[in-house]
Amino acid sequence: MENYFDLNFTTQQVNAISNLGLAHLGDCVFEILCRAYLCTSGDKTVDKLHRDTINMVKATSQAKFADKMLPMLTEEELAFYRRGKNSHVHAVPRSATPAEYAKATGVEALFGALYLLGRKDRINEIFKTVLEV
């Protein structure tokens, strides 16, 4: 049976997944990091946790995250980011520009790829470093 909490795909297997498929998974990975961060950042009501999570995971916030994250990425990681960023999406939320949404999709694709590759330490390193900036 596959252990979906601890996947270790090869780069070839990850490359076989569509750009938006990686972003789909990465959206969840990014959100769980934000939720964990917020839960460990102090005593908050469920409503406050929910609102703060939404503020962290919305496309405009992820675009800012991308701008801070890009200088620390390896060439391989940049390639995953670009795959997501250059994806052709069919709809952009009203709260974001197409450029912001593209960057957010890039962040999600990168986090999805790193998760599938089993590089949880690297995901955590990127996330923590960007939060500290």
Going 32 to 33 to 36 to 39, the CA torsion angle's sign is negative
Task: Let me know if 27 is a catalytic residue.
Answer: yes
pLDDT in tens, the chain (133 residues): 588 888 899 999 999 999 999 999 999 999 999 999 999 988 889 999 999 999 999 999 999 999 999 999 999 999 999 999 999 888 888 889 999 999 999 999 999 999 999 999 999 999 999 988 6
Which pLDDT does position 20 carry in this prediction? 95
pLDDT of the residue at 40: 93
Of 6, 27, 47, 121, which residue is the catalytic one?
Answer: 27
Q: Give the residue among 67, 64, 74, 78 at the shortest CA–CA distance from 109.
A: 78
Q: Name, in order, each residue with C-beta under 8 angstroms of 120's C-beta and a sequence gap of 6 or more.
A: 114
